[in-house]
C-alpha cells in the first residue's frame, strides 16, 4: 500500500490509528535499504539538497531488479558541524561531510552491496577509529535523547513516519483513557518545567489555566526563539513538527481549549513550511480539527510568523503581537493563564516543552521524573556552539556538568586553546568561568551562578575572547531590542551600552564599573519584563569573574584578547615573516609594505584593524599586541 492510499483514509478512532501504525511499521521492516539525508537548515546550507538530488538520480538509474530503496529527507541529527549527514539502513551507517561527488560510491558500495564507505565515516580523533553507527561517535555517546529521539529518523513531512515510530500514542491515550484532570496530574507528576527560560512548572501553569474563569481558552506555542546562539526550537520544528502539534493537542484537551497558535520566528522559513504541512496532514487524517479520533474533542491550530522582534519571545509581548499590535509586554499583575490573548485564559509554552508532553503521557510522569536532578526533571537540549570542536545540538539529562558537555560531548576547544568561559541563557544569561565548569546544569544551579538556563544556548568562549566586549555585545543587543515601553530598560540599558562602548573604545573612566553595577540594580528592580530585569546578568557575571579585564581596558587602555579596536595593534613578527606578500595584497588600506622574501611591516597610521592580514597569513606571522 502506498503512502497516498493511506493518506486518503481518515483516522476516526484509536483502533484505526493502531492499524495504520502496524501497516507502517511492517512496511519499514520489509524495506531492505533506506537512505536518509538531513536537509535541515544546517546541512541544507552545506549542500544537502544537491546530495539528495544526486542520490535521487543515481537511484532512478538502478536496474529494476535492484532491491527496493527508499530515499527520504529527514530533520536535524544535531551534529551540524559534520553536515551534510546521510544515514543508510540497515546497519545505521552514518556518513558525514557528504558531497555530491560521494553519491556514486555510496550507491555502488553501500546501497547495492551493503559495504561501508570508510572514508565517509566519522573518525574518533582520540582512538583513530572509524565509527560506523552514530552510537559509536563520542558526540552522541553521552547524550540521552528523548526530545530529539526521532530526529534524523523520520521524514518530517510524513505523518506516516511519525505514526510508525509511535507518534500519536500520547494523544490517543490522553483522549481515550484519561480525563483532562488526569492529564494535568500526570504532567505535574513529571516535574516538567518550562523550557523557554523561566523554568515555571508546566503542570501548575496548565492547572491554573484550566481553572480560570471563562468559556474560551487558548493554547500557544512559543516558537519565537530569539536568543542568539540557540537553535534547538528551530531544529525541533523542522525535524519533528508532529511532535509539537501532538503536544499542543494534548495540552489543549487538558485545559479545555479549542483554538491554538504557533508563533514562529520570522528568520525560520523552513520551520513554517514544515509546521504548515504537518497541520494540514494532521487535519486530513482527522488528528486535528473536528471530533479528533471520534472522541468529540476538537482543536484547530494556526501559525503566525513573527515580525522580527526579540521582545516577542516574552509571553505578553507575543500575545500583543498575535493580536496585531506592536509587541510590547505588559505588567503581569494578572497572569496570562487568567487573562492572556484577547483577554481570555491562555496557556503558553515553549516548543521544547510541548514536545516533551506526548512522551510524558505515553510513558508516565513517574518515568520522566526519574531523569534529572531533584528540582529539574527530564533532559535539556542545548545548542553547543562557539569555540568548541563539535558544534551542534545535544540533549543531556539535567544535572550533567558543564565540563562533561563541553569536553566529553563537545570535544573541547579547537586548536588546543584554553577555555575562558561558557555563556548560557542568551543575552539575559551570564558568563560562567572555567573554574566553575564542574557545576551540574539545571535551572537552579545556573541561576545561582549568576546565569540562567534560558532556552538552551551554550556558547563556549576561548582565551582569545574579550569579556568586556562580550558584555558590550549583549547589552547592545538588548538596547537594540528594548521595546521602549518602560524607562528603566529604555534609558537604563542605553546608558549601560554607552558606558560599555566607551570602555571598549579606550575611553573608560574610574567609577564606570560601579556605575554599571548601579544601573544593573535599577534595571533589575524597575524594568517591566524579563528583557530588562535580566540585563544585569551579562554585566555582573563578567565584572565578577573577569574584573581584571575591565581594569585593563579602563586603566591601561589595552585589550589583551585583541578584540577591541584601538586597544591593540596588529604587528608582523619579523622572525616568522617569510615576505610572501599575501598580507600586502589582502590589505584594503595599503598599510603593509615590504620587499619580497623580506619581513613586511604594518603602517599603524593607515591600519583600520580589519584583520584581513591575519586571515591570509599562513605562517602565524601576524600578532595582536
Give me the residues that bind another protein (CB under 8 A), please.
41-42, 44-46, 80-81, 83, 225-231, 234-235, 266-268, 304-310, 321, 323-327, 383, 385-387, 391-392, 423, 457, 459, 461, 465, 470, 473-474, 477, 481, 483, 586, 588, 610-612, 615-616
**Would you tell me the crossing angle of helices 351-363 and 169-177 to the nearest 10 degrees?**
60
Q: How far is the CB of 45 from another protein (least distance, A)?
A: 3
Q: How far is the CB of 345 from another protein (least distance, A)?
A: 18
Q: What does DSSP say about strands 33-38 and 86-89: parallel, antiparallel, or unpaired?
A: antiparallel
Q: What is the DSSP string of 424-455?
A: ESGGGS-EEEGGGTTSB-SHHHHHHTT---TT
Instruction: Output 205 or 420, the one with its CB closest to another protein.
Output: 420
Q: How far is the CB of 510 from another protein (least distance, A)?
A: 28
Buried b / exposed e over 457-482, threshold 16 CB at 10 Å, is bbbbbbeebbbbbbbbbbbbbbbebb
Instruction: Output 199 or 229, the one with its CB closest to another protein.
Output: 229
Residue whose C-alpha cell reads 584593524 in the numeric block: 609
Q: How far apart are CA 171 and CA 183, in angstroms?
A: 10
Task: Give the total residue count for the chain.
Answer: 625
Instruction: Output 199 or 306, the one with its CB closest to another protein.
Output: 306
Q: What distances in angstroms separate CA 12 from CA 19, 20, 167, 288, one per listed residue?
A: 12, 12, 16, 11
Instruction: Output 208 or 304, the one with its CB closest to another protein.
Output: 304
Residue whose C-alpha cell reads 490522553 in the numeric block: 174
3-state secondary structure of 193: strand
Residue whose C-alpha cell reads 573612566 in the numeric block: 509
Instruction: Output 387 or 534, the one with its CB closest to another protein.
Output: 387
Residue whose C-alpha cell reads 551493503 in the numeric block: 114
Q: How far apart are CA 535 and CA 587, in angstroms?
A: 38
Find the helix or strand (DSSP H, E) in which 42 lies: helix 41-45
Q: How far apart are CA 415 and CA 412, in angstroms?
A: 9
Instruction: Output 175 or 385, the one with its CB closest to another protein.
Output: 385
Instruction: Output 359 or 469, the one with its CB closest to another protein.
Output: 469
Q: What distances in angstroms separate CA 234 from CA 223, 417, 501, 507, 567, one per listed residue?
A: 8, 30, 32, 40, 38
Instruction: Output 116 or 610, the one with its CB closest to another protein.
Output: 610
Q: How far is the CB of 519 from another protein (least distance, A)?
A: 22
3-state secondary structure of 547: helix
Q: How far is the CB of 126 from another protein (least distance, A)?
A: 21
Instruction: Output 354 or 477, the one with its CB closest to another protein.
Output: 477
Amino acid at each position: 500500500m502506498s503512502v497516498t492510499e493511506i493518506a486518503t483514509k481518515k483516522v476516526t478512532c484509536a483502533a484505526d490509528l493502531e492499524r495504520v501504525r502496524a501497516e507502517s511499521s511492517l512496511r519499514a521492516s520489509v524495506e531492505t535499504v533506506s537512505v536518509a539525508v538531513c536537509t535541515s537548515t544546517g546541512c541544507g546550507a552545506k549542500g544537502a539538497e544537491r546530495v539528495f538530488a544526486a542520490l535521487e538520480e543515481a537511484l532512478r538509474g538502478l536496474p529494476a531488479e535492484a532491491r527496493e530503496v527508499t530515499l527520504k529527507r529527514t530533520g536535524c541529527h544535531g551534529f551540524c558541524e559534520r553536515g551534510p549527514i546521510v544515514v543508510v539502513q540497515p546497519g545505521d551507517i552514518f556518513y558525514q561531510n557528504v558531497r555530491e561527488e560521494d553519491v556514486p560510491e555510496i550507491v555502488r558500495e553501500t546501497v547495492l552491496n551493503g559495504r561501508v564507505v570508510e572514508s565517509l565515516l566519522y573518525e574518533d580523533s582520540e582512538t583513530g577509529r572509524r565509527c560506523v553507527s552514530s552510537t559509536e561517535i563520542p558526540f552522541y555517546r553521552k547524550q540521552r535523547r528523548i526530545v530529539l529521539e526521532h530526529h534524523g529518523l523520520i521524514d518530517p513531512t510524513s505523518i506516516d513516519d511519525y505514526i510508525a515510530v509511535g507518534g500519536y500514542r500520547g494523544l490517543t491515550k490522553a483522549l481515550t483513557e484519561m480525563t483532562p484532570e488526569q492529564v494535568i496530574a500526570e504532567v505535574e507528576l513529571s516535574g516538567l518545567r518550562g523550557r523557554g527560560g523561566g523554568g515555571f512548572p508546566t503542570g501548575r501553569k496548565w492547572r491554573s489555566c484550566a481553572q480560570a474563569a471563562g468559556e474560551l481558552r487558548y493554547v500557544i506555542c512559543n516558537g519565537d526563539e530569539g536568543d542568539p546562539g540557540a537553535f534547538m526550537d528551530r531544529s525541533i520544528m523542522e525535524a519533528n513538527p508532529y511532535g509539537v502539534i501532538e503536544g499542543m493537542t494534548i495540552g489543549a484537551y487538558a485545559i479545555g481549549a479549542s483554538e491554538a497558535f504557533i508563533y514562529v520566528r520570522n528568520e525560520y522559513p523552513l520551520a513554517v513550511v514544515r509546521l504548515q504541512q504537518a497541520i494540514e496532514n494532521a487535519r486530513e487524517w482527522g488528528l486535528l480539527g473536528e471530533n479528533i479520533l471520534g472522541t468529540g474533542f476538537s482543536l484547530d491550530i494556526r501559525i503566525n510568523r513573527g515580525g522580527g522582534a526579540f521582545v516577542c519571545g516574552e509571553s505578553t509581548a507575543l500575545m500583543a503581537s498575535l493580536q496585531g499590535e506592536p509587541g510590547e509586554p505588559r505588567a503581569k499583575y494578572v497572569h496570562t493563564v487568567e487573562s492572556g490573548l484577547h483577554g481570555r485564559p491562555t496557556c503558553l509554552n515553549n516548543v521544547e516543552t510541548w514536545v516533551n508532553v506526548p512522551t510524558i503521557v505515553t510513558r508516565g510522569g513517574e518515568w520522566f521524573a526519574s531523569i534529572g536532578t531533584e528540582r529539574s526533571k527530564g533532559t535539556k537540549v542545548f545548542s553547543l556552539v562557539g569555540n568548541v570542536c563539535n558544534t551542534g545540538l545535544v540533549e543531556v539529562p539535567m544535572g550533567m556538568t558543564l565540563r562533561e558537555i563541553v569536553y566529553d560531548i563537545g570535544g573541547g576547544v579547537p586548536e588546543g586553546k584554553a577555555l575562558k568561559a561558557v555563556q548560557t541563557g542568551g543575552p539575559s544569561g551570564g558568563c560562567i568561568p572555567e573554574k566553575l565548569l564542574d557545576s551540574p546544569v539545571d535551572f537552579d544551579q545556573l541561576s545561582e551562578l549568576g546565569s540562567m538556563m534560558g532556552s538552551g544556548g551554550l556558547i563556549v568562549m576561548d582565551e582569545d575572547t574579550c569579556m568586556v566586549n562580550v558584555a558590550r555585545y549583549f547589552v547592545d543587543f538588548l538596547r537594540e531590542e528594548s521595546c521602549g515601553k518602560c524607562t528603566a530598560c529604555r534609558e537604563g540599558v542605553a546608558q549601560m551600552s554607552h558606558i560599555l562602548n566607551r570602555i571598549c573604545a579606550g575611553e573608560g573612566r574610574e567609577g564606570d564599573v560601579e556605575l554599571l553595577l548601579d544601573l544593573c540594580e535599577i534595571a533589575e528592580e524597575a524594568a517591566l519584563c524579563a528583557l530588562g530585569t535580566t540585563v544585569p546578568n551579562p554585566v555582573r557575571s563578567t565584572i565578577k569573574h573577569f574584573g581584571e579585564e575591565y581594569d585593563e581596558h579602563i586603566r591601561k587602555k589595552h585589550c589583551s584578547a585583541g578584540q577591541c579596536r584601538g586597544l591593540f595593534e596588529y604587528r608582523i613578527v619579523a622572525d616568522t615573516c617569510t615576505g610572501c606578500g599575501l598580507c600586502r595584497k589582502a590589505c584594503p588600506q595599503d598599510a603593509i609594505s615590504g620587499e619580497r622574501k623580506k619581513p613586511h611591516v604594518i603602517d599603524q597610521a593607515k591600519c583600520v584593524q580589519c584583520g584581513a592580514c591575519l586571515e591570509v597569513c599562513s605562517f602565524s606571522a601576524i600578532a595582536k599586541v
